[in-house]
Structure 1
Amino acid sequence: MGSETSKSKKHATQLVEEEVQLLLKNTHFNRQQIMEWHQGFLKDCPKGKLDKKKFIEVYKQFYPSGKADKFCSHVFKTFDTDNSGEIDFVEFLIAISVTSHGDIREKLNMAFNMYDIDKNGKVDSKEMEQIVTAIYDLLGEENRKGENSPSKRVEKIMNKLDINGDHSLTKEEFINGCLQDDFLKNLLAPNA
């Protein structure tokens, strides 16, 4: 009997009350909306999990002219909060809530977490350049020369946001800098 419970929990096809309560506290959705989202999620992911391949497939539909793979890998890692290699419904809905309904600081926080590739609490130039390149790929940006090259773009971003001059951005530097500069906010956190 115990293995049956863990099995259904493992496959996440059933939404348990504990998960509903967690989502009610951590999203902007009500119980009925959570149930509707869950039905839709199971329609697309019958096993209750979204793997990276399927995630990229879905994301590519929104950016048909760009190369979504690199950017999606970063987004996927951000949404896969338990590092399982799959996104379960709870992770999915929390991420959807933040990106669609969250306040500006929540969205910038999520963007920072995506940029902090090595998860050390700071974003350095190398990480920022990987993300800017991935954003360029996603958007199909072909002009990558001179001032619009990823390295030049990152140099400008770092010069503007790196307040303490340590060649990396803390979450606070990133969020405060983006809040003060609409251009950077739109580039680095487009949904914010």
Structure 2
Amino acid sequence: MGNKGAKTRGSTTLTSRQIAMLMANTNYTEREIREWHEGFLRDCPNGRLDKKKFREVHRQFYPQGKVDNFCKHAFATFDQNNDGTIDFDEFLLAISATNQCNLDDRLSVAFDMYDISGDGFINRKELIKLITAMYDLAGETNRKGENKPKKRATDIIARIDVNGDRKLSKYEFIAACKNDPVIRRLLAPNT
């Protein structure tokens, strides 16, 4: 729609405008952005990351886990323009959001990924999907008793659902995850 910037999406060249935008929205330096871009182009020579390659990359980072369930939700979240691919800008913003940000920001990204209905809340069913995907990704095999996804989701909602509507707002979700050591370890392992 007349957006000149749209022509560069998926481009194999990195413009000074892109670098400025990425520096403003991440904690990466220009040098780091250029290094990420080189690596991105090695894996995606056409400047686009499709769903298949996205899963392959995650399998490298989580060799013991099952990545498909997680990747389905993550890809949909990071493909901001819904074109079925992730360009370098979308990729680096996603990497930054999941690796550089503080715990609240990382949990906010997780919330956005699993608010499948897009209604601004995570219900029990969505929370079960999130917990199951995180278990799969981390290779977590202990899913009995307190660690059963349905049980954990039910307990989290019962404990944190402030207004009794049986779903979690983003604020409630972040508080719940920060106070649940298992979920916190799975969603934000480096904090």
TM-score band, normalised by shorter chain = 0.7 to 0.9
CA, structure 1 residues 183+7, in 2 after alignment: closer, same or farther (shift >3 Å)?
closer
Match of 2:185 in 1: 186
- CA-to-aligned-CA distance 1:105-151 (integer Å, 9 cap, x gap): 21111111112112221111111111212222223333433433211
Q: In the aligned structure 2, how far is the partner of 1:188 from the partner of 1:51?
A: 24
**Residue 44 of structure 1 pairs with residue 43 of structure 2:** yes
Is the contact made by 1:107 and 1:191 (CA closer than 8 Å) also made in structure 2?
Answer: no
Matched length? 189
CA, structure 1 residues 171+187, in 2 after alignment: closer, same or farther (shift >3 Å)?
same
What pairs with 1:4-153 in structure 2 (closer than 5 Å)?
A: 9-153=8-152
- Could you tell me which runs of 5 or more consecutive residues in structure 2 were left unpaired when the two chains were aligned: none
Is the contact made by 1:8 and 1:14 (CA closer than 8 Å) also made in structure 2?
Answer: no
Superposition TM-score, scaled by structure 2 size: 0.88
RMSD: 2.2
Q: Which residue identity does 1:23 align to in structure 2?
A: L
Is the contact made by 1:111 and 1:189 (CA closer than 8 Å) also made in structure 2?
Answer: no
- Larger CA deviation: 19-28 vs 97-106: 97-106
Is the contact made by 2:9 and 2:87 (CA closer than 8 Å) also made in structure 1?
Answer: no
Is the contact made by 2:51 and 2:75 (CA closer than 8 Å) also made in structure 1?
Answer: yes
CA, structure 1 residues 7+111, in 2 after alignment: closer, same or farther (shift >3 Å)?
closer
